[in-house]
Structure 1
Amino acid sequence: MPRPRLTRVNQAVPQTVGPLGRALAAAFTEGDFLSDGLAHSVSSDTAQQDKWTAARLEYKTAQAILELEAWVAIPADAPFPDDEVFPGAVMLLAPPGVEAGDGNAKNAWYAAYKEATPAETQKIYDQLLTELADLENAAVPGGAKATYHIDFIGTPPVARKQGLASALLRHVLDRADRDKVIATLVTQTAGNEAYYTRFGFKTQLQRQLTVNGETGTIWYMVYTPGTQPSYPKDEEEEEDDDDAEAQAFVARTGTVGHDHGHDHDHSHGGGCC
């Protein structure tokens, strides 16, 4: 099976931020007690909860594009989309030595997120971030600043079982191997913990957390360079540098580059906050 097409998104515009943020929101709908706890603190109305979740993930997507890295994967035979429904996987990645700051604090997505966030929700969110920072520092002394840290990775239901998230993971782990730098992520379900183990991640620490009455387990996982399991060579193919559809997508949405990943199976969502 041809490997999925990977593209890094490098411009925060409505044609990229909206579809990718909504794709992540659709991915995090099963077993995500952190997002559920936060959303329930916003309102008892599910429409308001969904609106807040979309605003938060669109803001996180814009932040990654502007300050970190945002990557997408779509099936090899699919056209690069620029419509309301994004049929692929999304990954927000913090590479070594790069942190998100306040450089984008005045962009439209940040403003929409802040407007949609009640004071009590922000208080709960800030407490959660403190607890997650404590977990990170316990799992990786000095925190994740010197690692490839996967903030979010997810595939909406419509795009699952095509190896898209696997391709994004392989891309990160190939870079970790090349640079001899560990990769890290956080997940919230036993199924995803088992899934990431297949790629060479190991649970460094796990802890129970409660967010606005929602309780669950957090797994902090670490990948050591050079420990990727092997994969069949017939999954490889040459990169097509003359990809007219990809270049048209670049022209429309401000993305740059395209790469190929490795085809595996899955995925739901991983990472947080």
Structure 2
Amino acid sequence: MNGILLLGVAYMVLPLLWLLFAVTKDAKGLYGSSAFSPGGAFVENLQQLMTQDGGIFWRWLGNSVLYAGIGALVCGFVALMAGYAFDKFSFRGKNGLYGFVLVGVLIPNTATVIPLYLLAASVGATNTIWAVLIPAFCNPFSVYLARVFSAGYLPDETLEAARVDGAGPIRSFFSIGLPMLVPGFVTIVLFQFVAIWNNFMLPLIMLQDRDLFPSSVGIALWQSQVQQNPEFSTLVIAGSFVSILPLVLAFIGLQRFWRSGLSAGSVK
């Protein structure tokens, strides 16, 4: 068992460790030196990254923050309301609707890209930020997690006491339910933030204007030019390194919330 765990750790850590060493090398050292030996071109690589094509990477990075930040926050709030409703309310067709949500969890995101593109094209929304943002506003897995968190964090007796005191359904959610579900909300937002940040197929299909590209598609654009110009390999490495920093900072900064959120979900 320990051997399997070590293999899993190596599978996850070694690529990141290689990236840390690779970002310090120039193009010649990247292909001609040991994989885990440091180089001396870290500052030069970052300077080239930030100035390439008039600093287009800054725009790509800002687009990623926009898509992932707004998409994750809206999705977290929508999922929290849906999960709260599925857990605390009784209404006709509840089990059937929740069954559709669970079916949606089983469908890979890549399978929905073409239908989403056709829908966006029918209303003229392709090649706009809305073509990437709107599909990110709802996620079936987030709704499932929200229901689990609602059942684990929010006792029915608390809401019943609020109803006895005269609070309606909307006030009960915003005054009592939402504050108690903050750890679950943060966990859902983090998961969705990572999913949107790493999303590649949807923006690749939806967007044609490179000024709207997120960092994932922009780096892939540079990667496609490596065979013609090997110097682009350092741009790809440096861009990949910078692109993971916001994710690391988000998880470190909010770890106390998502740790407690995951614990509650696992206990439930």
Shorter-chain TM-score range: under 0.3
Give the TM-score taking structure 1 as reference length: 0.22
- When Rg is computed on C-alpha atoms for both structures, the one with the higher figure is 2
**Structure richer in strand, relative to its length:** 1
TM-score (norm 2): 0.22
